[in-house]
Structure 1
Amino acid sequence: MYFQRSCTDRLIFLLSEQLTEINIASAWVIALNPRTLALRLTALSQWHAHQGFADPTSTPTVRKTLAGVARTHGRPKKKAKALPIEDLELIVARLADISTLKASHDSALLQVGFFGGFRRSELVGIKVEHVLWRREGIEIALPRSKTDQTGEGITKAIPYSDGPCCPAKALRAWLDAAGIAAGPVFRSVTKWGKAAGIALAVGSVNTVLADCATLAQLDYVPDLSSHSLRRGMATSAHRAGADFRDIKKQGGWRHDGTVQGYIEEAGLFEENAAGSLLRSRIKPT
């Protein structure tokens, strides 16, 4: 835990309000983003509640201290940059020029992740048994996701396409090339050019995206993460005229506000008061 230290063989916990304030106001302020600090205080609060102790973080003084930290040391939240569909198409085209098993895997991974709006844990958790091949495309049934903790399952559909991207065709090509008939769909490829027997590690999705974006010579690779696929799906779908409800469903978002934020991001320049003013001043030729 972040709130304990070792003293011989015993653990000494910082339980008092005074000690909590000291921790907030000293080294943590320098080392931690205020949002991270708030999360750790929440963890501390929950631990005390579970143990039946008084909550040292709920006092007005501690809350006032935390608010002061946010005002004084607050920083903008770092967000993963959305990967627009145009750049995904560049990546897919570049991978198509490389006749390797890994290129086939990476193309399928990124396309399914993007168009399915999957979280990275969901993406690497897909098994062959979860995929239903239909005439219109593929259905991927997740037995559990972040927004479905009761295990009722959610299903995402991805149609076939004749365009630059087709996740269903890319997935079929990868499975056939790797000889995968059961078990995890996405797996690492060994240096001998064979698919591993276990699922791809969650953190590897970031690495695959970064490597492929570098290959496509995108100039914002440091701003990309696995979440860029979901954000990119939402913003690109909005620009393509997709309905708000359909975007929310495909991404599996619980809150309208999250999706609305992506839509506002997508229309930052299109739905822009300054842009309207500037266009109004253009003299006809």
Structure 2
Amino acid sequence: LRHLAQKGMGANTLRAMASDLGYLEAWSRASDGFALPWPAPEAIVLRFVAHHLWDPAERARNAGHGMPDSVRQALAATGRLRSDGPHAVATVRRRMALWATFHRWRGLEGPFSSPNIRNAMRLAAMATDRPRGRKSARAVTRDILDRLLTTCGGGRLIDARDRALLLIAFGSGGRRRSEVARLTVEDLMERSPVPARRGDAQGVMLRSLGLRLGRTKTAGADQDERVVVVGRPVDALLSWLFAADIAAGPIFRRIDRWDRIGEGAIDAQSVNAILKKRCRQAGLDPAAYSAHGLRSGYLTEAARRGVPLQEAMRQTRHRSMQQASSYYNEVEIERGESARLG
């Protein structure tokens, strides 16, 4: 089972699952003094909801509302709890979904679909006043991307790598960190040049490449997910590969302070670190941007340029129309009159 999990799930997913399971175990010991029971009684799951989704105003009036101080202090002492306030609804749902998944893996029936628990979650979500946070406070749109790229003109190998990484991550639909980090030369598929202006076969032609994504967050390796990049990202990528003399294996590799290129690929966290470093160098607040901002920025930029939503989704590989359309809705409101009535 461990082997299958490692083969079928990305490293980030496995780390997140281990972290959430560790939290559940720590909460159970802090709350009851015992290890997490299997199967979990309905009363314990309801207590988990009550400890994590609560109303701060009611807490001020009633000290027994929400998570008890003894539980909070025990979790904080082990580094499991970093906030004194209620959890985000999405975090609680994710941990409960994982809890239910582990029940199924053990061949057990859990209480997670019971009417009492579903009703408790619904009421708690309606009562919470904590808005859902975004993975990146600000989107990395084309104008922001161009500012980051101005910091990559130093002529060093690390500048060539970072320029290629940022352009490929954005131009391929705002790829996720793990997808960018594990790209290899073998994932590149040569394609014929395409016109810079659609339908103008006699005009300027742009180089084009296909990227084989393999396993993604929403698709298995057997689905052979692919996207196409054209123009500036392709030029930057090929320039990096030539400068680094990379003909096979990982595309984006570690580079030490002496400009020596390693054999192994960078990890997903490095993609985020590179973006934040370039933000700092461009005079932008690194705390306001993350690698996910490339994904939201791509969709926001597509909406601004009038790219049809379904066409943009073919590049981002979004499965949810609702999630992808939220960026388009914001742009439409921004351009419309409804936001100007005041």
Partner of 1:116: 172
1:130–1:142 Cα contact (<8 Å) kept: yes
- Aligned AA (1:22): R
State whether residues 143 and 151 of structure 1, in contact with CA within 8 Å, keep that contact through their aligned partners in structure 2: yes
How has the CA–CA distance of structure 1 residues 140 and 17 changed in structure 2, closer, same or farther, with 3 Å as cutoff? same
Q: CA deviation at 1:49?
A: 3.0
Q: 2:322 maps to which residue?
A: 257
TM-score normalised per structure 1 = 0.85
Q: Does 1:157 align with 2:228?
A: yes
Secondary structure of the equivalent of 2:223? Answer: coil
Quote the Cα distance in structure 2 between the aligned partners of 1:103 and 1:212. Answer: 10
Give aligned-pair identity as a percent.
27
Match of 1:87 in 2: 144
Q: Is the 8 A contact 2:52 2:92 kept in 1?
A: no
Equivalent residue, structure 2, for 1:19: 44
Match of 1:218 in 2: 284
Displacement of 1:12 in angstroms is 4.8
The TM-score normalised by the length of structure 2 is 0.72
| Pairing partner for 1:174 from 229, 233, 240 | 240
Distance in 2 of aligned mates of 1:172 and 1:124? 16
8 Å Cα contact 2:170-2:295 kept in structure 1: yes
Partners of 1:24 and 1:147 in 2: CA distance: 28
Q: For residues 99-122 of structure 1, what are the alpha-carbon distances to aligned partners after superposition, in whole Å with 9 as ceiling and x for unaligned?
A: 211111111101000010112111
Look up the SS of the partner of 1:158 in the other structure. strand
Shift in CA distance, 71/148, structure 1 to aligned 2, threshold 3 Å = closer
Find the residue that maps to 1:184 and give its secondary structure. Answer: coil
CA distance in 2, matches of 1:35, 1:238: 26
The 5 Å alignment of 1:40-189 reads 40-79=95-134, 80=136, 81-96=138-153, 98-117=154-173, 118-136=175-193, 137-149=208-220, 151-160=222-231, 166-189=232-255
Query: Are 1:236 and 2:274 counterparts?
Result: no
Separation in 2, partners of 1:172, 1:22: 55
Q: Unaligned 5+ residue runs, structure 1? A: 161-165, 279-285
C-alpha change, 1:24 and 1:274, in structure 2 (3 Å) is closer
1:197-224 deviation line (CA, Å, top 9, x unaligned): 11110111111111111111124x3121
What is the deviation of 1:150? 5.2
Aligned-CA RMSD value: 2.3
Q: Is contact 2:304–2:331 with CA below 8 Å preserved after alignment?
A: yes
Contact preservation (8 Å) 1:3, 1:13:
no
Structure 1 residues 119-141: Cα deviation after superposition (integer angstroms, max 9, x where no partner): 21111121111113344222212
**Count of aligned pairs between the two proteins:** 268
1:209 and 2:275 aligned? yes
